[in-house]
Structure 1
């Protein structure tokens, strides 16, 4: 409908000065200005009479018609052109015709429609506007077609970006749901493993220890009842070794139980670690001249039994691996910069540890010294790490020129750990 725009040479009739209410001439611009302004409009504008015949067009209408293979001819019925339109523009042309008829009939004062009008070389979009006016007691319609291609392309780009964003959000949502499903499955598998470990701990605490106790008892009977009689000195030695290994096996079972009893999610409470430290210090056999001290310790959120086990193991290590000089052990603590954790530092002047072994000692049953020298099964620091990690913290060692520095973190009072590590260790 936009390709058949026409024009009329009778322009003076439509450029008359406006009269006031009393019929006198108002201070209207000269007629030549009105005609020039009409031609200067960027929109393609035509004036239709009450039958829909084009009586006047502006320069933009004429140029568009000529550029699209038509002419500017006046006298053509624009409604008939719209009604005769076929092809993809049919629906838009019919809507514009209905809008023009409604305006000419006085049923509407404004009709608007956005529609595409593509050329072989570019995509174009227009806005059609139809408004009425009265002239010489006759009703006319102004039909304007404004090129809105730039705005429309911008809107379409915004819509495209919005769709792309929605698609990406849907993809990320699906990925998140998939990840959550995988996490739920892995947590279920982990729960199964933890239950299996709990069952093993039960078996270890009952079924495994019973034959060890029986074996140890019979070995003691043989060693005491037949020592120096039916058995020679070598046999007595063998029985002694059997008794020692039974005792060691029972201790291994107890160590495994200790490690397995560190609950994955221990109940937390505000705790004064200084009181637990004092209790642990009083319960250990310190050598003469040993000095075991602490500073003022910030309160933490922790599980009391596990925190007590942590301190007992750390103090036991300091006692076990002391040097020939008088033992010095000191614990200090301070709140971290973000206020969420307390970093503790345990310093001793013992035999220390080589830098290459600072991680190895946290592995279960890993030892750096002979059992005959220090005793134990090498599980103490493994339990310490598990306790600290269950509280959302971390523990590490720093070798010193003299002794060892053990540092660990626990949640500050009022700051429960957000994520409890899930491991089957």
Structure 2
């Protein structure tokens, strides 16, 4: 190289890589100039600059790979929003070719209702008040279809901190927005149905209360005259006619019981009594006292473990235990009924159980027994109105719990119900 400079007189200005063992290799900038009396050569170490250039080139290649292959859409724009560069992902979302987008401004593909928010965020971004922003917005695709996207925008600045250009990253969220809209519509529908059901139930309860209350007087009149007729004409009329009168009286009495239970059922939901601390041991004993005749008649053994105190309506809790015990006495087998009540603490609730050794219930009938007027047996087999367990369920739900049964035919039944546990009160 030096001989060539001397012979031709042409200066040399070259970058040269001097490879050495280990990490000692360096880059040199060599300048050789012919002088009248010889040769002038200068060497300058440019290793740091070359390493920075190589790192920058690698970084640009890495960015280019990410830019082109990213699953999300990425666009580079001027500070005013003119597209400078877009990746394939961006084109796929908005269905424009890259060449078409480079002729457009960001606002041209933004839904009119979202432009104002865009501009306000960009103003804050350029002013340095925020570093970047993300928002859900709508884009207008080439075919006119509206596309929901999540957009994240950042401004690239120079070493001096001056804004240079913007980077926009968009993610297609159309499916998520569709699911969200469907869920919102479904929730609105369910809410509307719930309101209508609540109103309908309230109207039904009011109707049941008024209807059953208004039926009391005429039914009482029918029963009274039928019984009077039965008493006065017993020796005058023939046997078939007397039987007809007896059937009328029996039917009226069953109707009276049905009306009484229907009134009781409607009163459960209408009760405005404030809950108080109630000792369930005393509640159980009061229920048994009310059933004393039936318990003795059936030679039943009715016991309990120690029961907790709960907050509730004492009268309704007595009715709850009374109905469950009464059912155990009614649906008995040949041997004397055995009924046992107990309670255990289960998390935030007291779990009560009323167990008997009666005829049991087939699992297929579990859902039916708590429905109003649902009976599994005929009047000839077992008397009743089919409202007792429906009243139990309503009482338990009013107290914030739930009720269910576990049973098997000829193996007895266990009715469970939960009531909230309040440690501060207990």
Q: 1:279 aligns with which of 256, 271, 286?
A: 286
Q: Please give the residue correspondences for 1:218-367 in structure 2 after superposition, counting only pairs within 5 Å.
A: 218-229=225-236, 231-263=237-269, 268-284=275-291, 285=293, 286-287=295-296, 290-336=300-346, 339-367=347-375
Structure 1: gaps spanning 5 or more residues: 1-8, 17-29, 46-59, 65-86, 90-124, 132-144, 417-425
After superposition, give the CA deviation of every residue in 1:178-224 in whole Å (9 maximum; x if it has no partner).
45533442233123212321331232233222221222222223223
Q: Is the 8 A contact 1:361 1:367 kept in 2?
A: yes
Higher strand share: 2
Q: Is the 8 A contact 2:338 2:357 kept in 1?
A: yes
Q: CA deviation at 1:39?
A: 4.3
Q: Does residue 1:377 correspond to 2:377, yes or no?
A: no
Secondary structure, aligned partner of 1:323: coil
Secondary structure, aligned partner of 2:319: helix
- Shift in alpha-carbon separation, 1:31–1:243, aligned structure 2, 3 A: farther
Secondary structure, aligned partner of 2:43: helix
Secondary structure, aligned partner of 2:243: helix
In structure 2, distance between residues paired with 1:405 and 1:253: 28
What is the TM-score of this pair, normalised by structure 2? 0.57
- Shift in alpha-carbon separation, 1:244–1:173, aligned structure 2, 3 A: same
Secondary structure, aligned partner of 1:344: strand
In structure 1, distance between residues paired with 2:189 and 2:354: 40
In structure 2, distance between residues paired with 1:363 and 1:392: 17
Secondary structure, aligned partner of 1:374: coil
Q: Is the 8 A contact 2:341 2:354 kept in 1?
A: yes
- Shift in alpha-carbon separation, 1:241–1:311, aligned structure 2, 3 A: same
Which residue number corresponds to residue 185 of structure 1?
Answer: 192
**RMSD (CA atoms):** 4.4
Secondary structure, aligned partner of 2:395: helix
After superposition, give the CA deviation of every residue in 1:97-119 in whole Å (9 maximum; x if it has no partner).
xxxxxxxxxxxxxxxxxxxxxxx
What is the TM-score of this pair, normalised by structure 1? 0.57
Which residue number corresponds to residue 202 of structure 2?
Answer: 195
Q: Does residue 1:394 correspond to 2:400, yes or no?
A: no
Secondary structure, aligned partner of 1:300: strand
Q: Does residue 1:209 correspond to 2:216, yes or no?
A: yes
Q: CA deviation at 1:328?
A: 2.1
Secondary structure, aligned partner of 2:340: strand
Q: Is the 8 A contact 2:348 2:420 kept in 1?
A: yes
* Structure number with bigger Rg: 1
Secondary structure, aligned partner of 1:329: strand
Which residue number corresponds to residue 94 of structure 1?
Answer: none
Q: How many residues align?
A: 294
Which residue number corresponds to residue 414 of structure 2?
Answer: 405
Secondary structure, aligned partner of 1:32: strand
Q: Is the 8 A contact 2:300 2:329 kept in 1?
A: no
Between 1 and 2, higher relative CO (CA 8 Å, sep ≥ 6) is seen in 1
After superposition, give the CA deviation of every residue in 1:6-61 in whole Å (9 maximum; x if it has no partner).
xxx8899xx99xxxxxxxxxxxxx9634445444431899xxxxxxxxxxxxxx8x
